[in-house]
Amino acid sequence: MGKYAVGLMSGTSLDGIDAALVEIEGFAENTEVKLIEFINEKIPEDIKEEIRNSFTLDKSSVELICSLNFKLGYLFADAVKKVCEKAEIPLERLDFIGSHGQTSFHIPRAYGSFIKSTLQIGEPAVIAYETGTTVVSNFRTMDMAAGGEGAPLVPYTEYLLYKSDKNRALQNIGGIGNVTILPKNCSLDDMHAFDTGPGNMIMDEVTKRLKGVSYDKGGEIAAAGKVNEELLEELMKIEYIKAAPPKTTGRELFGSQFVDKLLHKWGYLKAEDLIATVTAFTAKSIADNYRWFVFEKCPIDEVILGGGGSYNNTLVKMIKEYLPECKVMIQEEIGYSSDAKEAIAFAVLANETLNGSCSNVIGATGAKERVVLGNITPGRRSWIGQK
């Protein structure tokens, strides 16, 4: 019988806390994972607003981040309790938790007086105490200490779960878009991964401001609009999009301040046209990054889309149109869950940490060597001499 674990993920899109309860057997190449239950726990609007404020330099403060770290810890712990309750598995049977946390700020490359660094919040001690369970967290920092960019982290788990006899591109579309390239019958050293650019982040923010809803459900608003080619061309000239991997990005580039500038210059466009154009930007940035940095080394047979963006039918349609030479599918078409994918990944990464197994991919993060990721916070049940 395997071990029970919960993987926790709260992404840049702030669409909720993903909690995946899994059963894991073995580790490294012998890993077997079964998804038992999954929930997406919505973040209360007041805390969501605090998170957004913490991202912006003019509204953030050490006081805000200090408090948010613990508030999110309690929310994460609550998500663990709820997914176990839904699966009718007592907390006492849970062996460990893998928590990515909420990225507060990420500096993948040094600039000015700021060195390469990262900060994820959602206090693991709170999660461990509230659930009584050992927590593995802070996965990015050891990779950065080894010279990497601290992201993307999921390529290792994708290698374990998705390698096949075909050349595959696993494209996640959360707040940010990131791709993992799995050449057919590859070894870990054959893989590479990078952030392609925006995922849902710009689309969601523009939709919220212009339509008063949190996202473009099914891509229906974008489908009613027309892509403005002049704006699309301008967006595709952004330096990050054409930068060679390894590369990572986030809200610091494509967040609310980006949308402020976008709407200041292009806000005269019809809302539907603007939303259609930023949707096309996500699709084209994915496709062009494949052409510039992937196809020459590895002609892709299958593109497998995951994350919330895979439910945006207009976005998926655009990606298919920009990549006619590839078979483009979503996770559900191969028997997996787009929603649970990243949360499952952090349960798997926690399992590797607890087994002393290195789980970064040098071809993805640019680290000097493979390292064991994550910090371990013991839960009450592992304390010696407890009363």
Binding-site residue ranges: 11-18
Choose among 307, 283, 311: nearest CA to 216: 311
Choose among 121, 8, 135, 4: nearest CA to 65: 121
**182/155 Cα distance (integer angstroms):** 9
**62/81 Cα distance (integer angstroms):** 29
Choose among 363, 365, 206: nearest CA to 282: 206
Query: Which residues line the annotated binding site for ATP?
Result: 11-18
**7/374 Cα distance (integer angstroms):** 13
- Is residue 99 within 8 A of residue 82, CB to CB? The reply is no
Q: Residues with Cβ < 8 Å from 168, sequence gap 6 or more?
A: 162, 181, 182, 184, 300, 301, 302, 303, 304
**193/153 Cα distance (integer angstroms):** 9
Burial of 108 (0-12, 13-18, 19+ CB in 10 A): buried
Bridge-based pairing of strands 168-173 and 192-198 is unpaired
Alpha helices per DSSP H over the chain: 45-55, 62-87, 124-131, 140-145, 155-162, 201-211, 220-223, 229-236, 239-242, 251-254, 256-266, 271-293, 313-322, 341-354, 362-365
In three-state secondary structure terms, 165 is coil
